[in-house]
Amino acid sequence: MFAERLERARGLMAEQGVDLLLLSVGADLPYFCGYEAMPLERLTMLVVPRDGAATLVVPRMEAPRVTERPEVFGLRAWDETEDPVAIVAGLAGDVGVAAVGDHMWARFLVELMGAMPSTGWRRASEVTAPIRSVKSADEIERLRAAGAAVDRIAGRLQRGEIELVGRTEAEVSAELGRQIVDEGHDRMNFAIVAAGANAASPHHEPGGHVISSDEVVLCDFGGTMVGADGVGYCSDITRCVYTGEPPAEFSELYDVLFEAQAAGVAAVAVGTPAQDVDRAARSIIAAAGYGEYFVHRTGHGIGTEAHEDPYIVEGNREPLAAGHAFSVEPGIYLAGRWGARLEDIVVASPDGADLLNRVDHRLAVVA
């Protein structure tokens, strides 16, 4: 599988005139070779010449963590007193164009630019994103398993089985984090809990606010499930509950959101430009008078990273392909008052949207 992925990368490198691919910290590396770099100051880098064998350059002390795959890459462990940038430059040779991982530390890029003065530089995602964004059947099943796991947690939230009133947002966030792991994820990535007026801040940091009766509680959470091959796939879901009977004004807002999210999902079709999914959701929110309160794009791709290509945003005319996995998550945020977001992960398929989250989309009333 990894060898096949690297072959496809080499194909795109040839098309794009890229001679060398350099992958370090970030999601590209595990996707293409099954090894995840520790995000440290010591350099880890997969060096992939377009024509030639790939080499994984790792700190000597981390070499025991590497599952060797001689059919995919050779291993070059470097000692503490060696210069890893010089090693990479030596393996690279005198290349015209190198593409570097988007998440590589800037310090290494700056040093590489010094060590390879005649090389031009591009972002590796130009090569890797078109490959990573289209999921295989196996990847879709892994995303589905992660989606089902967070659905179970959301179901408990909606049935009132996760205590809210009287606890702080931070406490509920910690509880969601534990359940994410208990439900089969290897790690939790985030658990936003935003109650009352805090729900008007899309990426609210759960804090000391004690959740009370008659508040909206927005929960947006997800984690990563790592497979036997060392590659992890992400979940991401948002549901809102109300701790009491919601006022009519909030119910109306939520109905608009519900309809907008469903319209976004219904717009998903192979060949449809990504921006049309955003337009479908946004037009309903705008028609209801909330347009200025929907302050973010409708969605993001998901896979080995929680946010990746394709982005569901105005201006992205990329046609959806079968296997594109992404969120549909419109929101309405009234500063100082309240807010709501509704998020599912879907996969574009010849039959439309394949839903990876199926738990109730309505606003649940919990005591």
Contacts to Zn ion by CB under 5 A:
220, 236, 238, 327, 343
Distance between CA atoms of residues 101 and 104, nearest Å: 5
Pick between residue 112 and residue 346 the one whose CB is nearest to Zn ion. 346
Pick between residue 47 and residue 359 the one whose CB is nearest to Zn ion. 359
Pick between residue 26 and residue 223 the one whose CB is nearest to Zn ion. 223
Pick between residue 19 and residue 169 the one whose CB is nearest to Zn ion. 169
269 exposed, middle or buried (CB, 10 Å; 0-12, 13-18, 19+)? middle
Pick between residue 119 and residue 189 the one whose CB is nearest to Zn ion. 189
Distance between CA atoms of residues 312 and 277, nearest Å: 7
Measured at the CA of 24, the angle between CA 23 and CA 25, to 5 degrees, comes to 135
Pick between residue 78 and residue 221 the one whose CB is nearest to Zn ion. 221
Contact 231, 30 (CB under 8 A): yes
Least distance in angstroms from the C-beta of 153 to Zn ion: 13
Pick between residue 111 and residue 175 the one whose CB is nearest to Zn ion. 175
- Unique residue bearing structure tokens 């979940």: 235
Pick between residue 44 and residue 238 the one whose CB is nearest to Zn ion. 238
SS3 per-residue string spanning the chain: CHHHHHHHHHHHHHHHCCCEEEECCCCHHHHHHCCCCCCCCCCCEEEEECCCCEEEEEEHHHHHHCCCCCCCEEEEEECCCCCHHHHHHHHHCCCCEEEECCCCCHHHHHHHHHHCCCCEEEECHHHHHHHHCECCHHHHHHHHHHHHHHHHHHHHHHCCCCCCCCCEHHHHHHHHHHHHHHCCCCEEEEEEEEEHHHHHCCCCCCCCCECCCCCEEEEEEEEEEECCCCCEEECCEEEEEECCCCCHHHHHHHHHHHHHHHHHHHCCCCCCEHHHHHHHHHHHHHHCCCHHHCCCCCEEECCCCCCEEEEECCCCCCECCCCEEEEECCEEEECCCEEEECEEEEEEECCEEEECCCCCCCCEECC
Pick between residue 130 and residue 301 the one whose CB is nearest to Zn ion. 301
Least distance in angstroms from the C-beta of 331 to Zn ion: 9
Least distance in angstroms from the C-beta of 157 to Zn ion: 14
Least distance in angstroms from the C-beta of 254 to Zn ion: 17
Least distance in angstroms from the C-beta of 220 to Zn ion: 4
Least distance in angstroms from the C-beta of 343 to Zn ion: 5
Pick between residue 37 and residue 364 the one whose CB is nearest to Zn ion. 364
Least distance in angstroms from the C-beta of 178 to Zn ion: 18
Contact 77, 35 (CB under 8 A): no
Least distance in angstroms from the C-beta of 154 to Zn ion: 11
Least distance in angstroms from the C-beta of 238 to Zn ion: 5
Least distance in angstroms from the C-beta of 291 to Zn ion: 19
